[in-house]
Amino acid sequence: MSYEIKTGKEQAAPILWTGDFYNEGTGSGDIFDTLKEECGVFGVFGHPEAASMSYYGLHALQHRGEESAGICVANGRDFNYHRGMGLVKEVFDKDKIASLVGDMSIGHVRYSTSGDSRLTNAQPLVFKYRDGDLAIATNGNIVNEPLIRKQLEQGGSIFQTTSDTEVLAHLIARSQKDFVEATKDALQQLVGGFAFLLMTNDKLIVASDPHGLRPLVMGQLGEAYVFASESCALEVIGAKLVRDIEPGELLVLDKDGLREDRFAEPKRKALCAMEYIYFARPDSDLNGSNLHSARKRMGSRMALEAFVDADIVTGVPDSSISAAIGFAEQTGIPYELGLIKNKYTGRTFIQPSQELREQGVKMKLSAVRRVVEGQRVVMIDDSIVRGTTSRRIVNLLREAGALEVHVRITSPPFKNPCFYGIDTPDRRELIASYKSIQEMCEEINADSLAFLSPEGLIQSIGGYNSDDYKGGLCLSCFDNDYPTQVDFGGEEKDGCSC
């Protein structure tokens, strides 16, 4: 049986291979860094301690980017900002936060890639232009950025970063209109998935792409407005979640308060499904769904679509714990701690050499021998990217004495690159794009492998009007149905360049 993704209103067919050598595996981005986080933004309007609020807010968004952090505050006269490489708590100390005086601010945490982790790319980017100071923080990716950049260069523009944000600044600066109109014009030229925070000395602008591909929420804290990539960052400062920013929406906050506007008509709502599956924090709500609960439902649904009899259920930490508990609740198979992640690893940790790994030295993840020994194990994971990581985890379980390892992935097979802010490998490296489920199952050394169906995923996430096309989600990495144009004659860009 060859695998085929069913979408739309058709009946869900569990993506399951039950032949000789069963089925599928997992990526576990947070363990082996296969999928990269894609930045977080945080904005404050009208709070006297905007920098402190940003510090705690960005800290709550830290999982979205561990490479660099920055905060820029405005006080009506000028900007003060600080950016640095590292975690929020490493980049800022009390003195630095105290020096950032102002009641309006935008902040950013940035993910890490090997090639381009320069401080110059740390956001918010800050510019001087005709009308004064301008700061921008972004999450997402502009697909046609290379084309626009080329045009700007032809027109004599210079670039100091590789960030999409700089392109936006150029477009605004070159417009002859006022700041708000110039920003609208500029945004209309962009194709992609993005959430932008822009700040001048007296205005804060908040915008989301016409498909709402990247998450962005608004909260209130007393009289102040707060904006964040995820609601967990509101909760941590005691702010109340008001609503999600709409596709194509553009909010302007200034001395006249909040003005709701838009730079584009909303198109098909298509929030990134991977936010639900893997990226967002379990205590965040997106479009009315709590993430932990949604993941539990994915696990439950998985149990219905591809039940397997076993002794214990375990999840690959941290992202698949919720789903594993859901699978256990649905099946009655006890949830156990079969895998454990060492929470103390990080940049400065000495990774074991290949030789030591072969001698048995574990990396960030260990199997718990007494729990899995002699057991038939259901291992829940969120995705399989290249397959190598899944194979390693399955083998960890086997070496710890698991009799059987049944892998259940709470998403459909990952076959297509993301153009909207997630840093994915080349399509040729995506195992699901060139192997059948059976082949993948063999490759990762599992006893069986199954993926959640797209329908299962959509229904688990819920929170959307069921009339929305594909539940209001972008499933392009699974089904190749991109909400925007993604081919610009070779001048397009995938991944993330915020």
How crowded is residue 108: how many other Cβ atoms within 10 Å of its Cβ?
33
Residue 327 Cβ, how far from a second copy at the closest point, in Å?
12
Alpha-carbon distance 320 to 295, whole Å?
8
Nearer to a second copy, 70 or 210 (CB): 70
Give just the sign of the alpha carbon dihedral 410, 411, 412, 413: negative
Backbone angles phi, psi at 300, to 5 degrees: -60, -50
Residue 474 assigned as binding residue: yes
Write the Ramachandran bin of 266: left for phi over 0, alpha for psi from -120 to 50, otherwise beta.
beta
Query: Residues 307, 313, 318, CA angle at the centre, nearest 5°?
Result: 120
Nearer to a second copy, 149 or 211 (CB): 149
Residue 224 Cβ, how far from a second copy at the closest point, in Å?
11
Residue 272 assigned as binding residue: yes
Residue 40 Cβ, how far from a second copy at the closest point, in Å?
12
Residue 232 Cβ, how far from a second copy at the closest point, in Å?
7
Helix (H) or strand (E) segment spanning residue 81: strand 79-85
Residue 332 Cβ, how far from a second copy at the closest point, in Å?
9
Query: Residues 217, 317, 116, CA angle at the centre, nearest 5°?
Result: 65
Instruction: Assess whether 72 carries a catalytic annotation.
Output: no
Residue 441 assigned as binding residue: no
Nearer to a second copy, 112 or 433 (CB): 112
Nearer to a second copy, 20 or 344 (CB): 344
Nearer to a second copy, 349 or 434 (CB): 349
Write the Ramachandran bin of 387: left for phi over 0, alpha for psi from -120 to 50, otherwise beta.
left
Nearer to a second copy, 158 or 428 (CB): 158
Q: What are the b/e assignments for 409-446, b being 16+ CB within 10 Å? A: bbbbbbbbbbbbbbbbbeeeebbbeebbbbbbbbbbbb
Q: Which of 39, 72, 441, 496 is catalytic?
A: 39
Cα→Cα distances 348→86, 157, 344, 345, Å: 11, 39, 10, 8
Alpha-carbon distance 458 to 22, whole Å?
25
Cα→Cα distances 253→172, 217, 235, 259, 261, Å: 18, 15, 21, 6, 11
Residue 391 Cβ, how far from a second copy at the closest point, in Å?
18
Reduced 3-state DSSP string for 227-239: EECCCHHHHCCCC
Q: What is the chain's length?
A: 498
Nearer to a second copy, 191 or 339 (CB): 339
334 upstream amide cis, omega within 30 of 0: no
Residue 232 assigned as binding residue: no
Alpha-carbon distance 275 to 262, whole Å?
24
Judge whether 62 and 88 are in contact, CB under 8 Å. yes
Query: Residues 396, 398, 403, CA angle at the centre, nearest 5°?
Result: 150
Residue 104 Cβ, how far from a second copy at the closest point, in Å?
18
- Active-site residues: which are they? 39
The annotated binding site for Mg(2+) is made up of: 319, 381-382
The annotated binding site is made up of: 272, 319, 381-382, 418, 474, 477
The annotated binding site for [4Fe-4S] cluster is made up of: 272, 418, 474, 477
